[in-house]
Amino acid sequence: MDQTVLHLINQQWTDSALDLFMAALSDSAIWQPVLIGLALVAAALGGFKARACIFCILFSLLVVTQVTNALKSAINRSRPKQAQSVRLVELQKARPKFMTLFKKPMIRFSDASDHNRSGPSFPSGHVTNNTAAAVCLTLFYRKRGWLYWIVVVAVGYSRIYLGAHWPSDVIATFFLAAGETLIILAALQWTWKHAGRKWPSGVFARHPSLLAG
């Protein structure tokens, strides 16, 4: 099933417009300035709720990244482009990075030179990070936070489209990352309830629940 779905998404359901979109979606360097800017604005203008949400996202990312790296080393599953020939979409180099969106990406098929270019396949770091953010945003902002799940699905699909991950990697990572993040947030909530009341500033009195803001 993995092989069949991968072949369909990576080599049959392709399009020149999708090539650029999927490659750009998976390139975090393009979006980092935008995300950092949004986080700074939210922290400055959004009040306690926004700052608590940003903290939970950053802390969750810190923890899940360590878990992901450990699991990658332990499981050591080969990526599709390391195990077989798959269609690759590569963005052209540009400075600043977002200017690559205005250049036609290069298409090629993987070969022996790609075997050592990337780490193991499972779990997917892209899916892990975006799922962690989506869980936090959903718990803090409910209906509006759910919109970020569209990004999670799109990023997961892009990883298969680009031949970077097996479909099973993406699906399993989604559930794994969601579970990890919920455990982390539960731990942060427990810590807030037990340690926050000791703060003399009265912040805890105004905000007895961290996740509720």
| Sign of the alpha-carbon torsion through 18, 34, 67, 212 | negative
SS3 category, 89: strand
* Residue carrying structure tokens 């709720």: 49
CA distance 70 to 67: 5
**Mean pLDDT score of the chain, rounded to an integer?**
90
CA distance 78 to 84: 10
pLDDT reading at 66 higher than 70: yes
For residue 201, what pLDDT is reported? 63
Percent of the chain with pLDDT over 70: 95
Residue 213: which pLDDT band, with cuts at 50, 70 and 90?
Answer: low
pTM tops 0.85: yes
pLDDT reading at 118 higher than 90: no
- Give me the amino acid identity at 209: S
Range with the poorest average pLDDT among 51-55, 118-122, 123-127: 118-122
For residue 200, what pLDDT is reported? 55
* Residue carrying structure tokens 């902002």: 141
For residue 153, what pLDDT is reported? 97
CA distance 172 to 193: 32
Give the model confidence (pLDDT) of 133-159 as tens digits. Answer: 999 999 999 888 899 999 999 999 999
pLDDT reading at 98 higher than 60: yes
- Tokens in use for 21? 């979109």
Residue 209: which pLDDT band, with cuts at 50, 70 and 90?
Answer: confident
- Compute CA distances 182 → 58, 123, 176, whole Å: 14, 17, 10
Quick check: 10 and 87 in contact, CB under 8 A?
yes
Residue 50: which pLDDT band, with cuts at 50, 70 and 90?
Answer: very high
SS3 category, 92: coil
* Residue carrying structure tokens 């392709």: 14
The gap from C-alpha 102 to its chain's centroid, in whole angstroms, comes to 24
Residue 197: which pLDDT band, with cuts at 50, 70 and 90?
Answer: low
Q: Is the peptide bond before 123 cis (omega within 30 degrees of 0)?
A: yes
The H or E element spanning position 36 is helix 28-45
CA distance 96 to 116: 27
